[in-house]
Structure 1
Amino acid sequence: MYRSRRRPLPVVALLLVSLSVLAGCTNAPPPPLVESTSSAPTSEPPPTEPAQPKVVVAGIDELSGGFNPHALADQSPVTDALSELMLPSAFVPGPDGKQVLNDTLLKSAEVVGDADEFTVRYRIRTGAGWSDGAPIAAEDFVYLWEQMRDRSGVVNPVGYRMISDVESRQGGKTVLVTFDQPYPGWKSLFDHLLPAHLLKDAPGGWTDTLDKGYPASGGPFAIRRFDLDRGEVVLMRNERFWGKPAKSDRIVLRAADRSANLNALRSGKVQMGMFTVDGRTMDALRDLDEQVSLTTLPRPVTSTLLLRRTSPQLSDVRVRRAVLAALDRNALVRKGTGGGPAQQLRAHSQVLAPSQPGYSPTEPAGEFPDSPRPQRVERLLKEAGYQHTGGSWVRDGAPLNLVIAAQFEDESYEDVANAVAEQLAAQDIQATVITPEGDELYRTMLPADPETRGSPDAAEVDLAVAPRPVGPDPASTMASQWGCPGVDPETGRTAAFNMTGFCDRLLQPTIEAATTGETSFEKASARVEPALWSSAVALPLYQEAQVLAVRREISGVEDGPGFAGPFSSAGDWVGAPGESYDW
C-alpha cells in the first residue's frame, strides 16, 4: 500500500514540466493576483445584542420562611402566590368561582359509578411532571392524603380524613380514591400537590423542607434563587412544564416596607404589587392616578378572636361572654386593618367569609355589640363566682388572668392581641400576650386534648388571634373548624381538636350530614351557627384582603376567579425587558 501512494508522483512531475513549457511559449499576460478571502469585505450584518429577557418585578410586603399551603402556620399572601405558580391542583376555580377540572394536570376525574364504596378516579396526563424530571403521579396524592389525615395544624382536613384508601394504577398515572362515606365536596381535595419523591423521606419534610419554597415545580415557573436576607425570590420559566409555556422569562418577588413599595411602584422599579395596606397607603396608591390600576382582592381567611372553652379559666360560658362584652370590636377591626380595604369586609358569620357566595350575617342582633358593656361584664363575672377586689376579678383566691396568643412576627395579629389585652385591662381583667412560633401554636397549643390539662401546652393559651381559613366546600370548612374530633378505632385515641376545643355531640350529626350531602349546608348552618354564637367560642373580626396594583407596561395580569388570585394567571403575564439574573 505504501508503494501505491508513491507511484503517481512521476506523472505529476511530468505534467508540471509540460505546463511550464507552454507558459513560456505564450504572449498572454500572467493571471491577475487574487486577494485572500480573509481580507475580502463581508456583506454580513454586524452582530446584534441578544434580546433581554422579559421580566416582571412584583413588590410584596414581606418574605419569611414557611410556604406549605396546607399548614396554618404558613398561611400568607406569598404562600398563596408561590403555590399557585408551582403546585398543581386537581381542580381550580372557574370563571364563576366554582371548582372545575384542571385539564392541564388531569385528563379526567369522576365518581366511579359501579364501585361498592364512594370512589373517585383521577387520570393524570402522561406528560405531567415535576421540574426535576420526575412524573406527577399517584404517590403525590398518597403523600398529601397521609399528611392531611394524620397531622394537626392543617387547613380543612375533614375531607382527607374521610378517605379510606388511595390506590395507584397504570404506572401511577391513574389514582383511585376511596371514601368511607359519600363526599360531595371531593372536588375541594388534592389542591396544591407536593413533590412526594422529594419530601416523603426528607428529614422534617412536611415542616422544614418548604421553609424556602418548593424543591420542584409542577407549574409554569420554578424557583431560580431564594434569598431571605435580601427579601427576594427569582422565578424562571419552567422549561419542563408540559402545558402552555410562560410568556415571560422571569418573575421577581421583592419584599419591602410600605413606603419603599409605594416608591418602587411610582418609579417603575416594580411593575406590579400585592400589598396589605392601611388607609394612608391606600390614599397614596390612589394618588398615582392612571399610572396603576388598583383592585382589592379578599383572601380566603377571616381574622378571628378564638376563646378556648377547653381552657380552665374559660370553661364557663358566662366568663367567655363577659370577655366579649369587655371588647371594643370596632377598635379591634381598625387596629388589625389599619383602616385599609379589609375594614370594609367586616365578618358576622362563623363559617362563610364576607366575599363568599351565600354569605349573610348570622350574628344575633344586639348579642355581641361593637363597644364595651361594663355592666354586662360585671353581671356575668359575678354570676360565674368572681368578686371584684383590689382592682381585679378573683374567684377562689385566684385572679382572672388570661393568656392571649398571636403568631410570632404576624404584625396584624399581634396588634389585635395587644389591643384585646388593653381593653380587658380597662375592665380589670388581667391578660398577657404571648407570640409563639406558628408551628407551636397551631400544631400543639390550640388543638391540645382537654384531658391533658396538666400539660403545659394544653393550659397555656386561653384566647388566640388567628386565621380561620375558608374553602370551596363550606360544609367541609364547618366540619373542620367546629366538628368533634374523630377517634381512631384501632387505638381509641382522640384526634387533634379544633382550635377552640369546641365539640357539641348534639350538633355533630348535623355537621356530618352536611359533609356527606344528606342535608344541605344551608339547612345545617341554620342550626349550627346559632349554637356557635351562643357558646361564645369565636368572635369573627374581618376577612383579610390585599390590594393588587398593576402598572401599564405589564399585560396579562388578571384578578383570578374565586380565591385563585392574580398569580394563577402568571403564565400569561408579559413583562418588560429586564435583568437576566444569570446566576
Structure 2
Amino acid sequence: MSQGRRRAMGAVPLLVTVVSLVAGCTDAPPPHLVAPDPTTSAPSTSTPAQPMPIEVVVGVDELEGGFNPHTLADLSPTSSALAGLMLPSVFRPGPEGALQLDTNLMESAEVVPDAEKFTVRYRIKRQASWSDGAPIAAEDFVYLWEQLRSQPGVADPAGYRMIEDVASRQGGKTVDVTFSKPFAGWQALFNNLLPAHLLRAAPRGWATVLDDGYPASGGPFAIRQIDLDRGEIILERNDRYWGPPAQSDRIVLRAVDKARQVEALRSGDSHLALFSADAGTVQSLRDLGDQVQLMTVPRPATMELLLRQDSRALADVKVRRAVLAGLDRPALIQAGTGGGPGDQLQAHAQVLAPSEHGYTPTEPAGTLPKRPDPAQVERLLTEAGYQRSGTTWIRDGRPLNLVIAAPFEHEGYISIAEAAAQQLRDQGIQATVVTPTGDQLFRDMLATDPHSAESGSSGTVDMAVAPRPAGGDPAATMASSYGCPGVDGDSEQPLPYNAAGFCDELLQPTIDAALSGRTPFQQASANVESALWRDAIALPLYQQAQVLALSKDARGVQAGNGFAGPFSTAAEWLGTPAENDGY
C-alpha cells in the first residue's frame, strides 16, 4: 500500500472526532435516527480499491552478479538486459541494424565541420535526467571515456583511446569530443552511459562498483529490488523518465532452471522467457505448439579459445598449432551450446560474428582438422623439440602442461574449458582448468603486458575461454581484440593489453588505417585475419544466442533491432494485472 493511501485512511478517525466535538457544543436536539432505505446506497467512506499493477514476468537464465555492460567479466545476458532498460545511449540500432540517433536522449550528434581536429558535438536534451534528479550531462561522457580508455578488461576500448579531450559546454548539455585522428566509427561510442555523479566517488573501484546494480536509471524502468539468492530482479516504471512512459508498471526477471522455464510458460506464470536453451529444451518449447512463439536472438559475443603467445609453454607457434590439432572443435561447441541455437551460429572468422553484416568465413581451408589429428600433433610437437615419454610430452626435462582458464561465474565457459583439457590429455598434453573470477581473469591475468617481468610466471595462463565482443564498429572491434595498446597520453603509462595478449607491430599500421577509414575494413581485416590464423592466436567457436519464447499474454514484445535485444523494446510491453501489489 502506498504512503498516500495510508495517510488518506488515517484521516478518517480525526474527522469523526471533530464532528463529535462540534455536536457536543450545541443546544440543538440530537438528530432523529432514521433507518437507511435499502433501495438507496449510502456514500462509501472506504478507500476505493486500487487497480493491481500491470506486470510482465520474464523467465531468464541464472542471474549473475556484476552488471557493468562495458567489461568482459560482466558481459552477460543479465547486464545486457538491465543496460537496455536503464542506461541511456547516444545511438541505438535502427530497423535495418544501422545506428540511429536516440532522439529521446539527444537533440543532435554531428561532426564539427571547421574544427582544427576531428571533433564531434553532442547536444543532450535539457530534460534528460537520472532517476535521482541529476541531469544526464557532459560529466557522464567524461567518466565513461576515462574508464574505457585505461581500465583493463573492458569490452571495446579502441575508439575511446582515440579521444584526446571531452569538453563541457552550456551547463553540461553540450559535449565536444576531440579525437587525435579521424574515427569513422564514432557513432558506436557513448552507449550505456553511467551516472558519473554517483560512481566517480564510490568507495569501490570500477571493477566492482556495479556488482549490485545501478544506483540510478536513465531509462523507462528503475531497479526496485535485486535478490540474486532468490533469483529475482524487480523493476518498476521510472517516473522521472522524460520520454514516453512505460506501458507496464513493472517487470519481473525470474531465474529458474530450463525445465521450469518451459512449465512456467505452459502454466502462464511467465509472459515470456529469454534464455540459453539446449536442444532438449528447444524441443520441449516446440511441444507447446501455438501456446508460444519462438525466436532465436543472437547475442553480441563470439565464444573463442585464446592461445597466449606470452605463455612459456605456447611461445612456439608449432606448439600452438599442435594444440589446435589436438582439439575436437565440434565437441567444444556442443559443450558450450548443448545443441541450442548457438550451434547454428558456428564461427569461422576472427573479427566479425556470424550474424553480423558483412560476415564471411575467413578460415583457410585445411588450417584446422575437423577432428583431433594425433599424427599432426606428434609431428608438430616433435618439430618443436618435444619427445613422447609414456603418456606425456617432455622438452628440456619439463612436461608440456597447459593451464586453461574460464571465469567461474559462467557455467558454459567452464564446460568448454573442461572439454578442451580432456581432449588435450587424450593427446598426451597435460592440462589443468582454473576458474578465477571474471575480474581476476580479464583485469589481472589476461591484461598484463606480455613483455613484462610477470610474463610466463605462475600468475599467467596458457589458454582462456573468453567472449569476443560484437556489434560495435568492426574496425574498433578488430583494434580492441588484436591491436597494440599504446600508452596513456596523460601519464605516458602503457595501456592494458587485449585478452589475447596479441600485438604485431607490423600489422598495427593496417589496424590504425582501418580505424581512421583510410583503408576499407574488408581490406584491412583480410590482412589481420590471415596473420591470426597463421599464428594460431584464437580458435573461434560460436556466437552466443538465446531463445525468446513469447506467450499469448505478452503484447508489444519484439526481438529488438541489431544486437539491442528484446529488452530494448520493454517500454512497449504490456502485461497483465499482478496477483498482488507487494514486492
Give your verdict on TM over 0.5: yes
Task: Give the match for residue 559 of structure 1.
Answer: 559
- The farther-off stretch of 491-500 and 423-432 is 491-500
Distance 2:70 2:167 in 1: 22
Matches within 5 A, 1:409-428: 409-428=409-428
Task: Give the match for residue 65 of structure 1.
Answer: 65
Kindly tell me: are residues 299 and 408 of structure 1, through their superposed partners in 2, closer, same or farther at Cα, counting changes over 3 Å?
Answer: same
Distance 1:250 1:51 in 2: 14
Report SS of the residue matched to 2:451.
helix
Distance 1:455 1:142 in 2: 33
| C-alpha deviation, 1:261, in angstroms | 1.5
| C-alpha deviation, 1:262, in angstroms | 1.5
Kindly tell me: are residues 248 and 457 of structure 1, through their superposed partners in 2, closer, same or farther at Cα, counting changes over 3 Å?
Answer: farther
Deviation per CA, 1:522-561, whole angstroms, max 9, x where unpaired? Answer: 1101111111100101000000000001100110000100
Aligned amino acid, residue 392 of structure 2: S
Moved over 6 A (4+): 44-47, 455-458
Task: Give the match for residue 386 of structure 2.
Answer: 386
Matches within 5 A, 1:136-175: 136-175=136-175
1:55–1:579 contact (8 Å) kept in structure 2: no
| C-alpha deviation, 1:210, in angstroms | 1.1
Matches within 5 A, 1:139-538: 139-454=139-454, 459-488=459-488, 492-538=492-538
Distance 2:423 2:479 in 1: 32
Aligned amino acid, residue 509 of structure 2: P
Report SS of the residue matched to 1:154.
coil
Report SS of the residue matched to 1:311.
coil
Report SS of the residue matched to 1:226.
strand
| C-alpha deviation, 1:65, in angstroms | 1.1
| C-alpha deviation, 1:442, in angstroms | 0.1
Deviation per CA, 1:121-164, whole angstroms, max 9, x where unpaired? Answer: 00000110001111101000000000001101001100001000
Task: Give the match for residue 548 of structure 1.
Answer: 548
Kindly tell me: are residues 57 and 138 of structure 1, through their superposed partners in 2, closer, same or farther at Cα, counting changes over 3 Å?
Answer: same
Aligned amino acid, residue 127 of structure 2: G
Aligned amino acid, residue 429 of structure 2: I
- The farther-off stretch of 82-91 and 388-397 is 388-397
Report SS of the residue matched to 1:202.
coil
2:304–2:466 contact (8 Å) kept in structure 1: yes
Task: Give the match for residue 576 of structure 2.
Answer: 576
Aligned amino acid, residue 414 of structure 1: I
Deviation per CA, 1:11-35, whole angstroms, max 9, x where unpaired? Answer: xxxxxxxxxxxxxxxxxxxxxx996
| C-alpha deviation, 1:184, in angstroms | 1.0
2:319–2:384 contact (8 Å) kept in structure 1: yes
Distance 1:346 1:440 in 2: 28
Which structure: larger Rg?
1
Distance 1:37 1:206 in 2: 73
| C-alpha deviation, 1:37, in angstroms | 8.8
Distance 1:86 1:243 in 2: 12
Ranges in structure 1 where 5+ consecutive residues have no aligned partner: 1-32
Superposition RMSD in Å: 1.7
Kindly tell me: are residues 490 and 129 of structure 1, through their superposed partners in 2, closer, same or farther at Cα, counting changes over 3 Å?
Answer: closer
Kindly tell me: are residues 312 and 294 of structure 1, through their superposed partners in 2, closer, same or farther at Cα, counting changes over 3 Å?
Answer: same
Distance 1:40 1:207 in 2: 71
Distance 1:547 1:359 in 2: 22
Kindly tell me: are residues 488 and 225 of structure 1, through their superposed partners in 2, closer, same or farther at Cα, counting changes over 3 Å?
Answer: closer
Distance 1:319 1:164 in 2: 41
Deviation per CA, 1:187-240, whole angstroms, max 9, x where unpaired? Answer: 000000001111000011422231121110000000111111111111000000
| C-alpha deviation, 1:494, in angstroms | 2.3
Kindly tell me: are residues 527 and 384 of structure 1, through their superposed partners in 2, closer, same or farther at Cα, counting changes over 3 Å?
Answer: same
Report SS of the residue matched to 1:452.
coil
Task: Give the match for residue 25 of structure 1.
Answer: none
2:159–2:183 contact (8 Å) kept in structure 1: yes
2:272–2:548 contact (8 Å) kept in structure 1: yes
Deviation per CA, 1:257-283, whole angstroms, max 9, x where unpaired? Answer: 111211111111111111101100000
Distance 1:119 1:177 in 2: 5
1:311–1:458 contact (8 Å) kept in structure 2: no
Kindly tell me: are residues 226 and 489 of structure 1, through their superposed partners in 2, closer, same or farther at Cα, counting changes over 3 Å?
Answer: closer
Task: Give the match for residue 97 of structure 1.
Answer: 97
Distance 1:222 1:352 in 2: 33
Task: Give the match for residue 126 of structure 2.
Answer: 126
Report SS of the residue matched to 1:309.
coil
Distance 1:89 1:362 in 2: 32
Kindly tell me: are residues 491 and 127 of structure 1, through their superposed partners in 2, closer, same or farther at Cα, counting changes over 3 Å?
Answer: closer
| C-alpha deviation, 1:580, in angstroms | 4.3
Kindly tell me: are residues 271 and 489 of structure 1, through their superposed partners in 2, closer, same or farther at Cα, counting changes over 3 Å?
Answer: closer
TM-score by length of 1: 0.92
| C-alpha deviation, 1:488, in angstroms | 3.7
| C-alpha deviation, 1:472, in angstroms | 2.5
1:312–1:459 contact (8 Å) kept in structure 2: no
| C-alpha deviation, 1:480, in angstroms | 0.5
Task: Give the match for residue 10 of structure 2.
Answer: none
Distance 1:157 1:38 in 2: 80
| C-alpha deviation, 1:470, in angstroms | 1.1
Task: Give the match for residue 77 of structure 2.
Answer: 77
1:554–1:575 contact (8 Å) kept in structure 2: yes
Task: Give the match for residue 11 of structure 2.
Answer: none
Report SS of the residue matched to 1:543.
strand
Task: Give the match for residue 16 of structure 1.
Answer: none
Report SS of the residue matched to 2:210.
helix
Kindly tell me: are residues 45 and 358 of structure 1, through their superposed partners in 2, closer, same or farther at Cα, counting changes over 3 Å?
Answer: farther
Kindly tell me: are residues 78 and 37 of structure 1, through their superposed partners in 2, closer, same or farther at Cα, counting changes over 3 Å?
Answer: farther
Report SS of the residue matched to 1:182.
coil
Aligned amino acid, residue 171 of structure 1: G
Kindly tell me: are residues 475 and 59 of structure 1, through their superposed partners in 2, closer, same or farther at Cα, counting changes over 3 Å?
Answer: same
Ranges in structure 2 where 5+ consecutive residues have no aligned partner: 1-29
1:446–1:458 contact (8 Å) kept in structure 2: no
Distance 2:201 2:34 in 1: 64
Task: Give the match for residue 56 of structure 1.
Answer: 56
